[in-house]
């Protein structure tokens, strides 16, 4: 007895294809996956850029404050010696000086009028504030750092070794 062999094309089940509706649904799902992937990658890049800008702003603020910490009282209260405005650059690729973000800052020194402790000390204390602004792809960003400095504070301390 001979068995009859069927070719794949002879089987009606294998001759079926996808309907137009099935193809459209698969294409829509694939498109949604690619759009979601693109949006996720774009958001990740934007978050990384914002984090870099914020970190650079913090570095600039701390750098200015560390420099101010070394000023004497006379240098600190003399506006001719302490620049009240400055600019710093941030180059994301590290090569081209014209690209990147420009940070603009101001330094204000205000003598603090104290009611407590005694008012005799009120002319010996000042508040130093460093403001920083920059704009990248969105709104203008600002950061501020403030500290107090005393006339007879650490900047007048001289270390001597025997």
- Average pLDDT on 7-27 reads 75
- Average pLDDT on 3-26 reads 72
State the residue for tokens 């990658």: 41
Q: For the chain, count helices (H), then strands (E).
A: 2, 4
The larger pLDDT score, comparing residue 131 to residue 15, is at: 131
Tell me, what's the pLDDT at 115? 59
Q: Is residue 9's pLDDT more than 90?
A: no
The larger pLDDT score, comparing residue 116 to residue 150, is at: 150
Please report, for the chain, the start and end positions of each structural domain, with discontinuous segments joined by +.
Answer: 9-156
Per-chain mean pLDDT for the chain: 81
The larger pLDDT score, comparing residue 116 to residue 70, is at: 70
Q: Is residue 117's pLDDT more than 70?
A: no
The larger pLDDT score, comparing residue 3 to residue 39, is at: 39
Does this model's pTM top 0.85? no
């Amino acid at each position: 007895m001979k068995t009859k062999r069927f070719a794949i094309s002879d089987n009606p089940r294998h001759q079926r294809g996808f309907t137009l509706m099935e193809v459209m649904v698969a294409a829509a799902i694939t498109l949604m996956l690619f759009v979601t992937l693109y949006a996720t990658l774009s958001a990740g890049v934007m978050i990384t850029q914002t984090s870099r800008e914020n970190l650079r702003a913090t570095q600039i603020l701390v750098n200015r404050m560390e420099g101010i910490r070394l000023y004497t009282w006379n240098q600190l209260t003399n506006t001719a010696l302490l620049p009240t405005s400055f600019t710093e650059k941030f180059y994301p690729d590290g090569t081209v000086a014209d690209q990147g973000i420009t940070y603009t800052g101001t330094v204000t020194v205000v003598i603090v009028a104290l009611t407590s402790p005694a008012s005799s000390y009120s002319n010996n204390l000042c508040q130093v504030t460093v403001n920083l602004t920059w704009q990248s792809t969105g709104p203008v960003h600002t950061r501020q750092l403030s500290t107090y400095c005393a006339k007879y504070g650490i900047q007048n301390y001289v270390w001597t070794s025997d």
